[in-house]
Amino acid sequence: MKRFLSYFLQGLILFIPVIITLIVLLKLFNVFSDLFSFFGLSDSIAVNTILGLLLTFAFITVLGVLASSYVFKNFFSFIEDKLEHAPFIRHIYSPIKDFTNAFMGNKKKFNKAVLVCTNPAANIEEIGFITQEDLTELKIKDKVAVYLPLSYSLSGKLIIVPREQVKPIDADSGDVMKFVVSGGVSDVD
């Protein structure tokens, strides 16, 4: 049963991003397909479908080309800056951006897996990830910020602990995160 649950969770972790990506692609495809039908470029549903599919792939490819260009990066930075300073929107956009950047991209934040002694009297340790090693901007000395993810959830809590209560874990951070989120069911390679 433990092995079944481990495989199920691994499949779920793989399946959810694929499904979300497919839904976005289908919605984008529907927009382009409906666009051809609306303007009446063709009376044939098959032709509209093929044109919609080709335009969807072309649109995504053009976005990929633009995303790697210097001009687009500056434009995107400008738009991002405006979103991060817009009232109300910044409270939605900024946390989502920070959260996704923490898990994906070139600047993964959860890359220092540690054991944290959260109850020294009972010798209880929890698995977490150091998010900040220098808290002097908050006027906190000799302590680190550790994010403790919750099992079966993408949420967690941030704790501030003395450095001596933190021990590094010699394992891949992605495997450690998978282990924690699965409730300890998933194997660590």
Residue 143 has what pLDDT?
93
pLDDT tens-digit map of 106-135: 556 677 889 998 888 898 999 999 988 888
| Global confidence as pTM | 0.52
Cα atoms in the 13 Å half-sphere on the side-chain side of 24 = 9
Helices 90-103 and 70-85 sit at what angle, rounded to 10 degrees?
Answer: 130
Provide the greatest CA pair distance for the chain. 76
pLDDT tens-digit map of 36-67: 666 666 667 777 777 777 877 787 777 777 76
